Chain A
Amino acid sequence: MKILVVSSVGGHLTEIMQLAPVLAGHEVVLVLNDEAALPDFPFARVYRIVHAERDARVLFNLLEAARILRHEDPDIVLSTGAGPAVPVAFVARLGTRARIVFVETAAAIVRPTLTGRLMAPLAHHFFYQWDTLARFFPRAEKASIHFG
């Protein structure tokens, strides 16, 4: 399976690498939104897109995402957020075969993140990590990766 992992740098990247046992054995391509020390994982390829912060740069991310997705044609797009998940998922849903899998961060307990709210209609599989979020996402499933 070819998996395109999309993440912002920092905590979200730490969080998605908790899924390394699940990723092992697949062809994994990483898309990041800034410079960062890469996690210790055998990524097939790594791309860096512009770091948008809820502003017009998201539109540029759409172009970058289209360029990457057209070239990679992944089977799966996987993300725990933040920002860059949305433009990549949007373009993937529009023009690729990919199944979009989103895991809401374990840091969201009382209310979902903005990324989570935007990803809910875009993702084929939406996972939350705390029962308190269930009422916000009727179609979603629970996956307690961190604090189960």
Chain B
Amino acid sequence: MRIFVTVGNALVPFDRLLGWVDEATSTLPVPVEGLCQHGPSRVRPRALTPRENLSRAEFEREMNHADVVVCHAGVGTLSDALRRGHRPIVAPRRAGFGEIVNDHQLEIVAALGHEGRIEVAEDAESLRAALLRHARGEARRGPPRDEDPARLLPVARAIAEGPARERPLLLGKLAMSALAALGPRLDRLRVR
């Protein structure tokens, strides 16, 4: 069974989840392989190949090849996993453990969990149970879902409307120029 573990590109570790992964994967009755993108975390699940960070292409390849995804509750990670037909096993990062700035990941876990689109891991045991269902074939990923291009239409329409007005108010423009004169030189701000 091929597992893809990813904790996203946050600058804080998520050792709690990786500890559960290590515990759960070491006691599964099937051979386990796959990648663990761990970022700044210190725990390395022994059954998986550790990688600090992945390029976008590597990330997509792992998402495509994995039988099951285990991840934190970042919006980008979750939408990528769902789009590829996964029903990822998710643990929200918690502010109380210093894993994130606030507890907003609880909201998305509650919403997607309620809709049955993700599986929530509460501890090593529930993670192991979820992985076991995949190992036994009781749970498996579905087909990739085509993205509906129409979902971007509202934003595309707003952009197509162009500028909000012909020209700014003179007073506002003067105020902006005064602020700009106080600001750092443009070449100090440009990186590319």
Q: Which residues of A contact B (CB under 8 A)?
A: 1, 3, 10-11, 14-15, 18-19, 21-22, 26, 38-40, 43, 45-49, 62-71, 75-76, 78, 91, 94-101, 103, 105-110, 113, 124-125, 127, 130, 141-148
A143 and B168 within 8 A (CB) = no
Say whether, besides A94-B172, A107-B104, A145 and B155 are in contact (CB < 8 Å). Answer: yes
- Across the interface, do B184 and A99 meet the contact criterion of CB distance under 8 Å? no
Question: How many residue pairs, one in A and one in B, have C-beta atoms under 8 Å apart?
Answer: 164
Q: In the complex, which residues of chain B have a beta carbon less than 8 angstroms from the beta carbon of A40?
A: 56
Which of A39, A46, A78 is close to B190, meaning CB atoms less than 8 Å apart? A46
| The one of A18, A38, A97 that contacts B164, using a Cβ cutoff of 8 Å | A97
Contact indicator B107/A101 (Cβ below 8 Å) = no
Using Cβ atoms and an 8 Å threshold, which residues of chain B touch A113?
A: 104
Minimum CB–CB distance for A9 against chain B, Å: 9
Interface residues of chain B: helix, strand, loop or mixed (majority): helix
Asked if A107 contacts B165 (CB within 8 A), the reply is no
Q: Is B5 an interface residue (CB 8 A)?
A: no
B184 x A43 contact (CB < 8 A): no
Query: Are A71 and B107 interface neighbours, CB within 8 A?
Result: no
Chain A residues with CB under 8 Å of B162's CB are 1, 75-76, 99
What residues on A are CB-neighbors of B129 within 8 Å?
none
Cβ B192 vs Cβ A45 within 8 A: yes
B108 touches A109 (CB 8 A): yes
Residue of B nearest to A17 (CB): B76
Number of residues on chain B facing chain A (CB within 8 A) = 55
Cβ of B76 and Cβ of A15 under 8 Å apart? Answer: yes
Q: In whole angstroms, what is the CA distance A143 to B111 when docked?
A: 17
Whether A107 and B180, one on each chain, are in contact in the complex, defined by CB atoms closer than 8 angstroms, is no
Tell whether, in the assembled complex, residue B151 and residue A95 are in contact, meaning their CB atoms are under 8 Å apart.
no
Hey, what's the 0/1 contact readout for B160-180 against A, CB within 8 Å counting as 1?
Answer: 111111111100111111011
Indicate if the CB atoms of A107 and B189 lie closer than 8 Å.
no
The answer to whether B75 touches A96, judged by C-beta atoms less than 8 angstroms apart, is no
Cα distance, A108 to B107, chains bound together (Å): 7
Q: Which residues of B contact A67 (CB under 8 A)?
A: 179-180, 183-186, 189
Contact of A3 with B79 in the complex, beta carbons under 8 Å? no
**How far is the CB of B149 from the nearest CB of chain A, in Å?**
7
The smallest beta-carbon distance between A131 and chain B, in angstroms, is: 11
Contacts of B76 in A (CB 8 A): 11, 14-15, 18
B9: Cβ under 8 A from any A Cβ:
yes
Contact between B8 and A11 (Cβ–Cβ < 8 Å)? Answer: yes
Q: How far is the CB of A145 from chain B (nearest CB, A)?
A: 6
Among the interface residues A65, A98, A109, which one has the most CB atoms of the partner chain B within 10 A? A109
User: Which residues of B have CB within 8 Å of A38?
Assistant: 192
Least Cβ distance of A72 to chain B in Å?
Answer: 10
Give 14 pairs: A residue, B residue, CB < 8 Å, sorted on A. Answer: A11-B76, A15-B75, A47-B189, A63-B179, A66-B177, A67-B183, A67-B185, A70-B180, A96-B168, A97-B164, A97-B166, A100-B164, A101-B158, A147-B112
